[in-house]
Amino acid sequence: ETGVTQSPTHLIKTRGQQVTLRCSSQSGHNTVSWYQQALGQGPQFIFQYYREEENGRGNFPPRFSGLQFPNYSSELNVNALELDDSALYLCASSLGGSSYNEQFFGPGTRLTVL
Amino acid sequence: AQSVTQLDSQVPVFEEAPVELRCNYSSSVSVYLFWYVQYPNQGLQLLLKYLSGSTLVESINGFEAEFNKSQTSFHLRKPSVHISDTAEYFCAVSRRSGSARQLTFGSGTQLTVLP
C-alpha cells in the first residue's frame, strides 16, 4: 500500500506566473484535501475534493483552483502568483462518506515565489 | 467558528525530562481533536486523536493527551522525552466546511530536546 505522494518536491516561480501541483492519494482513498503552510505557521485548509467534486473550501481566493481525477489523484492550480503564495503545500487523502475521515498527509511541495 | 490555540511556540527540554505541550480550542459543538507531528522537511504525521469515549488517548511512542471539555483543552504530554522527539507539533480540530470535514490547526509548538 503506497502512501500519499506529491510532485514536485520544490518549485520556484516568479510573480504573475501560474503553477500546478500534483498529489496521488493513498490506495483506497476517494477524498483529497489541500492545505497551505506558510513559514512558521500551521497548515490552512484550501479546499477538499470528494469523488471529483469540490465539497468544501477555506478562505482562499478563486485563483486557487483544483481538480480531482477518476483515479482520485488531484491537482492544485494557482494563477497570478503573489509573493505571499510562497509556502509548503500539503495534500492529504482520506476515505470520505463517514462522519470522521482520518487524513493522511503527503510530504508537501515547497513553492517559492520570487 | 472553531479555533485552536497553542500557548507555547517553542519548548526546550532536556532528554529524559517530562514535557507538556498545551492546546486549547474553541467550539460550540462536539469536536474531534488531533495532535500531528512534523519532522524537518516532511509532511504531517498523526500522533494521536480523540473522537469519543475515554478522555485519555495514547500513542505508540509514549505520548498521551487528555481531552478536558470543561477547560476546552487537549494538552499533549510525555513523561520522558528522547532526542528523536525533536520536531514541530500541531494541535488540530476537525470541523465541517460545507460537505467537507477540514482540519483547523494551531500555529505549532517546536519541541527541542537537548542532550
Residue B97 reports pLDDT greater than 80: no
Q: Which residues contact B103 (CB under 8 A, 6 or more apart)?
A: A33, A35, A43, A45, A92, A103, B34, B92, B93, B94
pLDDT at A1: 58
Closest CA–CA distance from residue A39 to any residue of chain B (Å):
10
Evaluated on CA atoms B92, B96, B102, B105, the torsion sign reads negative
Q: List CB contacts (< 8 A) between A102 and chain B.
A: 46, 49
With an 8 Å Cβ cutoff, is A25 touching chain B? Answer: no
Determine the pLDDT at residue B94.
87
**Total residues found in chain B within this entry:** 115
pLDDT at position B105 over 90: yes
| Alpha-carbon radius of gyration of chain A | 13
Binning chain A into helix, strand and coil, the percentages to the nearest 5 are 5, 50, 45
How many CB atoms lie under 10 A from the CB of residue B112?
Answer: 13
pLDDT value for B28: 65
Average pLDDT over residues B23-39: 87
Q: Express each pLDDT in B51-61 by its tens digit.
A: 888 888 888 88
Say what the pLDDT of residue A34 is. Answer: 97
> Do A56 and B100 count as a contact with CB atoms less than 8 A apart?
yes
Predicted local distance difference test score (pLDDT) of residue A77: 98
| Chain A contact probe: residue of B37, B41, B51, B97 with most A CBs at under 10 A | B97
Give dist(CA A10, CA B40) in Å, integer. Answer: 14
pLDDT given at position B58:
87
pLDDT of A97 reads 62
For residue B93, the cross-strand partners are: B33, B104
Q: Quote the pLDDT of residue B77.
A: 97
Closest among A91, A93, A102, A70 to A21, alpha carbons compared: A91
Q: If you average pLDDT over residues B82-91, what whole number do you get?
A: 96
Residue type, A85: D
Which bin fits A40, alpha (ψ -120 to 50), beta or left (φ > 0)? left
Of the pLDDT bands very low, low, confident and very high (cuts 50, 70, 90), residue B100 is: confident
* Contact yes or no for B90 and A102 at CB 8 A: no
Which 3-62 residues of chain B touch chain A by CB within 8 A?
4, 32, 36, 41-46, 49, 51
- At residue A99, does pLDDT exceed 70? no
pLDDT reading at B82 higher than 70: yes
Give me the pLDDT at residue A28, please.
Answer: 86
Beta bridge partners of B19: B78
The answer to whether residue B1 scores a pLDDT higher than 70 is: no
Of B19, B22, B11, B1, which Cα lies nearest the Cα of B106? B22
Confidence of residue A91 (pLDDT cuts 50, 70, 90): very high
Q: Give the pLDDT confidence score for residue A100 in this predicted structure.
A: 67
pLDDT digits (tens, 9 = 90+) for A32-70: 999 999 998 999 999 999 989 998 899 999 999 999 999
- The cell 522525552 sits on which residue? B81
**What confidence score (pLDDT) does residue A98 get?**
60
